[in-house]
Amino acid sequence: MKISTKGRYALRMMLDLAEHKESGYISLKEIATRQEISKQYLEQIVTLLHTSDFLRTNRGKQGGYMLAKDPSKYTVAQILRITEGTLSPVACLDSEVNECNRAGFCKTLPVWKGLEEVITNYLEGITLQDLLDSVESNGADFYVI
């Protein structure tokens, strides 16, 4: 599984909003500048996140975006599902019902199910707040379990 640029940028954007939540509504221009991401690309991502009720918006001079909930309520998995559609490592696990005609006798299916479970459990276990706390305590830009 490879996370797209859209997924990575969405996570960075949400983390930026979490870091600056005390500032109120934040413009896309500010986020784009801090994160070194094209404002036009962020506009595409904002649409997905806003439609999913992850963001609050405010129009006008003091307008911008802010998280709809506390950073502890957003998992990395939730954010990536919005942008990536699925966290499944193979196409046959993308939907609830496996419609692959080999599913009943596929000897590799348990491998892919196990990998999906590991990925999901790992990403569901990390919140935006965890990432903020990790950076504060480690002084680094990574998360360690």
Give residue 129's pLDDT. 97
pLDDT at 101: 84
- Mind giving me the DSSP string for 18-56? HHTGGG-SB-HHHHHHHHT--HHHHHHHHHHHHHTT-EE
Type of residue numbered 88: S
Per-residue pLDDT at 72: 97
The stretches in the chain having pLDDT less than 50 are none
At how many degrees (to 10) do helices 109-124 and 76-84 cross? 120
Q: Say what the pLDDT of residue 141 is.
A: 52
Instruction: Sketch out the chain's domains with CATH numbers.
Output: 5-138 (1.10.10.10)
Reported pTM: 0.87
